[in-house]
Structure 1
Amino acid sequence: MRYIGCHLSSSVGFAAMGRTALSIGANTFQFFTRNPRGSRAKPVDPADVAAYLALAAKAGLGTILAHAPYTINPCSKDERTREFARLTLADDLRRMEYLPGNLYNFHPGSHTGQGLETGITQIADTLNAILTPAMHTTVLLETMSGKGTEVGSRFEELREILDRVTLTEQMGVCLDTCHVSDAGYDVAGDLDGVLTEFDRVIGLHRLKALHLNDSLNPVGAHKDRHARIGEGTLGAETFRRIVNHPALRRLPMLLETPNELPGYAAEIALLRGFEEAE
C-alpha cells in the first residue's frame, strides 16, 4: 500500500486532521508542530489525541510526519538562536510522545557564515543534547536545496551529521524532490542513479519519508520554489517512477505543493492513478 498525503493545518487538532486527510483520499499527513514562523505551540489535548488514535486504527492511517517550525536554526552564529532551536526541538519531541512511533522532520539549518564544518558540528551537538534513549519518535534531517548557507544540500553533509549523533538509530532522512533537484541531483533524468548515490553515502535504510514537490527551477538552481505535480521541471512522469519505485513505494509520501485542499485532493488522485500493482 502507498501512503500518500499532504501538509494540513494543525490548528484544528489531530482528529480533525485525520478526518480531513481521509476526505481528500490521503492515508497519511504532515503538520507543523507550532506556528511555522513563530514559537508558540498549542497545548496537547489528550482527548483529541485519543480520538485521533482511534480514527487512525479504524481507517488505516499510516505513519505521520510532524514538521518543525522554520524559525529554528541549530547552527546559527548567534547562541540565543541556537538555544531557541534546542529548546523548541526538545519541547516538540516531548509532545510527540503523545503520538509514539511517528516521524519528526526539521531543516538542518544555515551556518550563517561560520562555515560548513562548524554548522555540521553544531547541528550534531544539538541533536546529542535533545535525543534520549526512551524516545519513540524518529527524527529526520531534510534534504535541502543549497540556498545561501544552508547545510544539508549534499548527501555527504547529512551523513556527517548522522555520524556525529550518538543515538544514531533514532535518526533518519526525509528526501524532498524539489530540494534535491535544486541541489543538483537529477531525480527527473536519473532517479535510480540518485538513489544509488543516496544508498552509497547515507544508506537507503535511513530514508524514512518523502516530500513530493515539483520544482519551478532547473536541476542545480539552488532556489527552492515548489510547484504542483506535473507543472514544474521534474514533470509528472518523474512522480510516476517515484510512486512505483521498489525502494520508495512503502515510505510516507507527503505533498508540500502550493495548493488548497481541493488541489491536494486532485494531486493525491493523480498519484493514486500512477500506482502499479506490486
Structure 2
Amino acid sequence: MTLRVGAHVSIAGGVDNAVDNQLEVGGNCGQIFTHSPQVWQDPNIGDEEAERFREATEHELAGPWVIHTSYLVNLCTPKEGLREKSLDSMQKEVDAAAKLGIPYVNVHLGAHTGAGVEGGLDNAASVIDELDVPDGVTVLIESDAGAGTKLGGEFDHLAGILDRTETDIDVCLDTAHAFSAGYDLSTPEAVDETIAEFDDVVGLEHLRYVHLNDSKHECGTHKDEHAHIGEGYIGEEGMERIVNHPDLADVPLALETPTEDGKGFAWNIERVRELRAE
C-alpha cells in the first residue's frame, strides 16, 4: 500500500499554491482551509485557480485532499442564528470541494451548549440533512478531545450521528483528540484495542481520513494540543503501531503538528515515513 501522508498547508496567494506547499514538505495528500477559519467568510476561488489546483493535484500528488471547515461552525448548537450560519458555511464548503475536485469536507460536531448529548446529535443531523452535498463529496465528522459540552469525544457520538443522518457521511479520526478523550494509543496493545473498539462502535468502513498528531497532554485530559510525531504522550511506540496498523494501512494521513523546536511539517512527515515499515 502506498503511504499517503501530508500536512495541513496554506492556500495563501491562491488555492493552487497548496500543491507546491504540500510538495515542499514532502506530502502527497493533505488538508486545507478555503479561508481563515477564525471568521465567517465565503470561499473565494476563481475558475482558473480551481482548474490549476485540480490539474496539479492529479499530476503531482497521490491524494486525496480534505477541506477543514471554519472553527466557528457548530452543528450541535440549539441557537437558531448559529445553526443557520453553520449550515450556510457548510454548504459553501461542500460546493467549494466539488469545484476543486476534493472528495472530503471535515467538520467538528461542535458543542451542544445545554441541549444535551442526544439533543446535540439531533441538531447536528438536522443540519447535515439540510445540505445539498454534491456528487463526489462526502462530509467527514472529526473525533474531538471532548472538553466541556463538545461532542465527538466518544466513539458513541460518532456512531450516533451516523445513525441519525439520512446523508452518507463518514469519519475522520484525530489521534491526539482520541487520546485526550480517553482512548489510549501509547502502546501497540493499546492501539490495537482502541482501533478494535472504533470498529465495533463506529465501523472501520466509515474511517476515511486520519489526522495524525501526537499529544502534549496525557490520555483522558480532554486537552487539545498537538505534539511532534513520537515526541508527545502517545510516543514513538504508539505512533509506529498506528502508521503500521493493518486496518489503517491505506487510510490517508494529514498532520496538524506544530512548528516549533526547529521542526515543522517536513520533519514530521519524514518521521512518519521512518516509522512506516514497508
Q: Contact 1:145–1:183 (CA<8 Å) still a contact in 2?
A: yes
Mapped to 2, the partners of 1:45 and 1:148 lie a distance apart of 39
Once the two structures are superposed, what CA deviation does each residue of 1:31-81 show, in whole Å capped at 9, x if it has no partner?
A: 112211101134211111211222222223310110001011122232101
Once the two structures are superposed, what CA deviation does each residue of 1:210-242 show, in whole Å capped at 9, x if it has no partner?
A: 111111111111111111112210112222111
How well do the aligned residues superpose, as a CA RMSD in angstroms? 1.5
Write the letter of the residue equivalent to 1:8.
V
Taking only the aligned residue pairs, the percentage that are identical comes to 35
Deviation at 1:275, TM superposition (A): 2.0
Deviation at 1:112, TM superposition (A): 0.6
- Equivalent residues in 2 for 1:20-35, closer than 5 Å: 20-35=21-36
Q: What residue in structure 1 maps to residue 176 of structure 2?
A: 178
1:266 aligns with 2:264: no
Write the letter of the residue equivalent to 1:178.
A
Once the two structures are superposed, what CA deviation does each residue of 1:171-225 show, in whole Å capped at 9, x if it has no partner?
A: 1110001100011111123111111111111110100001111111111111111
SS of the residue aligned with 2:32?
strand
Q: Contact 2:37–2:71 (CA<8 Å) still a contact in 1?
A: yes
Tell me the number of residue pairs that the alignment of Structure 1 and Structure 2 aligns.
274
Once the two structures are superposed, what CA deviation does each residue of 1:105-144 show, in whole Å capped at 9, x if it has no partner?
A: 0010100112111100000000010044x43211100001
Deviation at 1:101, TM superposition (A): 5.0
Q: Larger deviation: 122-131 or 259-268?
A: 259-268
Write the letter of the residue equivalent to 1:216.
K
- Equivalent residues in 2 for 1:196-211, closer than 5 Å: 196-211=196-211
Q: Contact 2:180–2:220 (CA<8 Å) still a contact in 1?
A: yes
Q: What residue in structure 1 maps to residue 143 of structure 2?
A: 143
Write the letter of the residue equivalent to 1:113.
G
Deviation at 1:157, TM superposition (A): 1.0
> Where do 4+ consecutive residues of structure 1 move more than 3 Å?
none
Q: Contact 1:72–1:88 (CA<8 Å) still a contact in 2?
A: yes
SS of the residue aligned with 1:10?
coil
Q: Larger deviation: 102-111 or 234-243?
A: 234-243
- 1:131–1:151 distance in 2 versus 1, CA, 3 Å: farther
Q: What residue in structure 2 maps to residue 116 of structure 1?
A: 117
Name the TM-score, length of structure 1 as normaliser. 0.94
Q: What residue in structure 2 maps to residue 98 of structure 1?
A: 99
- Equivalent residues in 2 for 1:8-27, closer than 5 Å: 8-27=9-28
Q: Contact 2:212–2:255 (CA<8 Å) still a contact in 1?
A: yes
- 1:181–1:154 distance in 2 versus 1, CA, 3 Å: same
Mapped to 1, the partners of 2:141 and 2:43 lie a distance apart of 24
Mapped to 2, the partners of 1:98 and 1:176 lie a distance apart of 26
SS of the residue aligned with 1:5?
strand
Q: Contact 2:15–2:45 (CA<8 Å) still a contact in 1?
A: no
Q: Unaligned regions of 5+ residues in structure 2, if any?
A: none
SS of the residue aligned with 2:42?
coil
Mapped to 1, the partners of 2:72 and 2:66 lie a distance apart of 18
Mapped to 2, the partners of 1:102 and 1:154 lie a distance apart of 25
Once the two structures are superposed, what CA deviation does each residue of 1:130-179 show, in whole Å capped at 9, x if it has no partner?
A: 044x43211100001110000111111111111111122xx111000110
Mapped to 2, the partners of 1:77 and 1:121 lie a distance apart of 10
SS of the residue aligned with 1:150?
coil
Write the letter of the residue equivalent to 2:176.
C
Mapped to 2, the partners of 1:85 and 1:265 lie a distance apart of 33
Q: Larger deviation: 6-15 or 212-221?
A: 6-15
Q: Unaligned regions of 5+ residues in structure 1, if any?
A: none
